[in-house]
Amino acid sequence: MNTQLESLGGVTIVTPSGRLDFGAAAPFQSELEKVLAKTPAGLVIDCAGLEYVSSAGLRVFLLVSRGAKRSGIAVVICSLKPAVREVFDVSGFSQIIEICADRAAALAKMPA
């Protein structure tokens, strides 16, 4: 799995692609922690290129959304493939993490 970062105003957009499995979870987590440490106004995780998320991968989303909430950073996840979306729905994560259909919708949720 690899991860790309871009900045748009005060918002950081993280684009992971590939398989977020047990092995990829720890590097992805530290990548996102680095982003949060810079306290952007918002964080969008664009999952358009994400093929698979294991439970260890879900845990990263949980920790990041928890950490962001503590620092008052808005987090939105967008563009989930159906298989990945199903994992979020079954596990109940879509109840606690804001999910948008695409990047434009996600950016619209970001603080101005």
17 sits near another protein (criterion: CB under 8 A): no
Under a CB-based contact definition with an 8 Å cutoff, are residues 77 and 97 in contact?
A: yes
Distance CA 43, CA 64 (A): 10
What is the total count of residues that contact another protein (CB under 8 A)? 16
Residue selected from 22, 39, 69, 108 as contacting another protein according to rule CB under 8 A = 22
Q: Which residue intervals of 20-91 are DSSP H helices?
A: 22-37, 55-71, 82-90
96 sits near another protein (criterion: CB under 8 A): yes
Residue numbers at the binding site for another protein (CB under 8 A): 21-22, 25, 54-56, 58-59, 62-63, 90-93, 95-96
